[in-house]
Structure 1
Amino acid sequence: MGFPGTWMTESESVVYRVVPKCACSSIGQILYYSDHGRFFDGDIHDSTEGLHKWAQEHSQPLIEANARAHKSYAFTCVRNPYTRILSSFFDKICGIQRNGKRYRGKLVPMLVQKYGIEVGDPETGFEFDQIASFRRFLLFARDTIRWRKPMEPDIHWSAMSGHISTFIANGGHYDHIFFTEKFDEGMQVVLDHIETPVKVDLKQVPRFNESEGHGPKRAQPVEAYFDDLSMHLVREIYKRDFELFKYDFDNPGNKMPLAEVDLDEVHAKLGN
């Protein structure tokens, strides 16, 4: 299986396990800058040079050798499961993607037909009942994760612990896991532990939110989208994420973690 979703700087200063919807565009750009002194022109997910990625065949032996021997500092980043699934809905289901089309072609029409989801239209300012549609999407996300129907779960809403576990299961070890909600603080810890060809000043780094502006804005506070049934579904899908990454299940309105991540616990529980 190797190390899917793993990126590494060309200088091998640091190894990063990507978790979708957890500041991965910003992190990728910072890693790119730390080697080259400039940001990648475009979405960092589209880069095919300047950064080693498991998806690039020539990078695989280098990433594998580094991760297995724990030659470099390795890290990842997590996010509150409530805000992450909401963000996936607004970006991937309601939003128009970089190529000007809907995400995954036939996915949205199928959701409209089978789950009664509305996604709005850019021509009419994306007006639709966001709360009702999101809750129906949550049913769909649960179906994909629980029964792999009507399709396999998508990386943007499958559990963070699933992404993070593949790195450990194949012989990798994390030195740090930080929170999207405390991004500068967490990323600074990484930078303080590594030697990069180019020094990075986080205060000067722009925010790379590649999903922004392509879809509707969230019209309500986070907690408005989650009633008792929605919270039950979220617990069913993300129970392990809440426990391992210390987020507050009982209060969807509290996006901040309740404690720091216990790395020993993560390696023990995700390593088998």
Structure 2
Amino acid sequence: MGFPGTWMTESQSVVYRVVPKCACSTIGQIMHYSDHGRFFDGDIHDAKDGLHKWALDHSQAPILDTVTGHKAYAFTCVRNPYTRVLSSFFDKICGIQRNGRRYRGNLVPKLTYEYGIEVGGEDGKQEFDQIKSFRRFLLFVRDTIRFRRPMDPDIHWSSTSGHVSTFICNGGRYDKIIWTEKFNEGMQDVIDAIETPHVVDLAAVPRFNESEGHGPKRAHPVEDYFDDLSMHLIYEIYKRDFEVFKYDFENPGNKMPIGEIDLDEVHAKLGG
């Protein structure tokens, strides 16, 4: 199985397990800068050099050696399940992607036909009932995760704990898990714990939100999208995320964590 979704600096100063929709573009760019003194010109997900990635054949041996031997500081970044799944809906379902097309080709027409989801027209810019469409999208998300139909779950809405766990199950161990909601604070802890060829001034790092502008703007507060049924579905899908990463299930309007992450608990619960 190895370490899918794992990135490492070429200097092997730090290892990062990517979780989609959790500041991964910014983290990747910080890692690139820490080695090369400059940001990657473009979307860091497209970079084929300047950063070790498990998806690149030449990177697998050094990542495997470093992770299994715990020779470098390893971390990941997580996000509140309510805001993460909302972000996935507006970016991946309603939005036009970097290539000028809809995400995953025929996915949106399929959702329109089978679940009655609206996405704001051809360009994603027309008015539509965001709340109704999002709640129908949640049914689709539940179907992909619980029943693997009408397709396997997508990495952008499959559970954060699922992404985080593969690293543990295959022999890795995290030194730190940071929250997207307290990004600067958590990322500073990571930077302070490692030695890099170039100094990173976190205050001067721009936010590389590669999904911003893909889709329509969210028209309502987060909590308006979640009624009792939606919250039930969210708990069914993301129960472990709320538990181990200490988010507030009871209040969709509170995106902030409500406790400290216990790394021993994470390794015990997600390492089985």
Q: Name the TM-score class by shorter chain.
A: over 0.9
- Measured in 2, the distance between the counterparts of 1:121 and 1:38 equals 39
Q: 1:182 corresponds to which letter in structure 2? A: K
- Measured in 1, the distance between the counterparts of 2:65 and 2:41 equals 29
What residue in structure 2 maps to residue 76 of structure 1? Answer: 76
Counterpart check, 1:219 vs 2:219: yes
- Measured in 1, the distance between the counterparts of 2:247 and 2:123 equals 37
Q: Deviations over 1:104-153 (max 9, x none)?
A: 00100000000000001365733110000000000000000000000000
Contact 2:116-2:136 within 8 A present in 1 as well = yes
Classify the secondary structure of the residue corresponding to 1:16: strand
Query: Where in structure 2 are the equivalents of 1:176-187 lying within 5 Å?
Result: 176-187=176-187
Counterpart check, 1:238 vs 2:238: yes
> CA separation of 1:115/1:238 partners in 2, compared to 1, >3 Å: closer, same or farther?
same
Q: Deviations over 1:164-210 (max 9, x none)?
A: 00000011000000100000000000000000000000000000000
- Measured in 2, the distance between the counterparts of 1:126 and 1:219 equals 12
Query: Where in structure 2 are the equivalents of 1:2-21 lying within 5 Å?
Result: 2-21=2-21
> CA separation of 1:120/1:34 partners in 2, compared to 1, >3 Å: closer, same or farther?
same
Query: Where in structure 2 are the equivalents of 1:117-132 lying within 5 Å?
Result: 117-121=117-121, 125-132=125-132
- Structure 1: tracts of 5 or more residues without a match: none
- Deviation at residue 222 of structure 1 after TM alignment: 0.1
- Measured in 2, the distance between the counterparts of 1:57 and 1:112 equals 38
- Measured in 2, the distance between the counterparts of 1:186 and 1:32 equals 18
Contact 2:19-2:77 within 8 A present in 1 as well = yes
What residue in structure 1 maps to residue 154 of structure 2? Answer: 154
What residue in structure 2 maps to residue 109 of structure 1? Answer: 109
What residue in structure 1 maps to residue 46 of structure 2? Answer: 46
- Measured in 2, the distance between the counterparts of 1:67 and 1:129 equals 46
Moved more, 146-155 or 120-129: 120-129
Q: CA RMSD in A?
A: 0.8
* Identical-residue share of aligned pairs (%): 77
Q: 1:84 corresponds to which letter in structure 2? A: R
- Measured in 2, the distance between the counterparts of 1:123 and 1:169 equals 41
What residue in structure 1 maps to residue 139 of structure 2? Answer: 139
Contact 2:144-2:150 within 8 A present in 1 as well = yes
Runs of 4+ in 1 over 4 A off after TM superposition: none
Query: Where in structure 2 are the equivalents of 1:87-102 lying within 5 Å?
Result: 87-102=87-102
> CA separation of 1:140/1:70 partners in 2, compared to 1, >3 Å: closer, same or farther?
same
- Measured in 2, the distance between the counterparts of 1:198 and 1:233 equals 45
- Measured in 2, the distance between the counterparts of 1:8 and 1:140 equals 34
- Measured in 1, the distance between the counterparts of 2:14 and 2:133 equals 40
Q: 1:41 corresponds to which letter in structure 2? A: D
What residue in structure 2 maps to residue 207 of structure 1? Answer: 207
Classify the secondary structure of the residue corresponding to 2:7: strand
> CA separation of 1:94/1:266 partners in 2, compared to 1, >3 Å: closer, same or farther?
same
- Structure 2: tracts of 5 or more residues without a match: none
Classify the secondary structure of the residue corresponding to 2:99: coil
> CA separation of 1:124/1:231 partners in 2, compared to 1, >3 Å: closer, same or farther?
closer
Contact 1:8-1:15 within 8 A present in 2 as well = yes
Query: Where in structure 2 are the equivalents of 1:227-266 lying within 5 Å?
Result: 227-266=227-266
- Deviation at residue 62 of structure 1 after TM alignment: 0.6
- Deviation at residue 214 of structure 1 after TM alignment: 1.4
Contact 2:96-2:124 within 8 A present in 1 as well = no
Contact 2:96-2:123 within 8 A present in 1 as well = no
TM-score, normalization by structure 1: 0.99
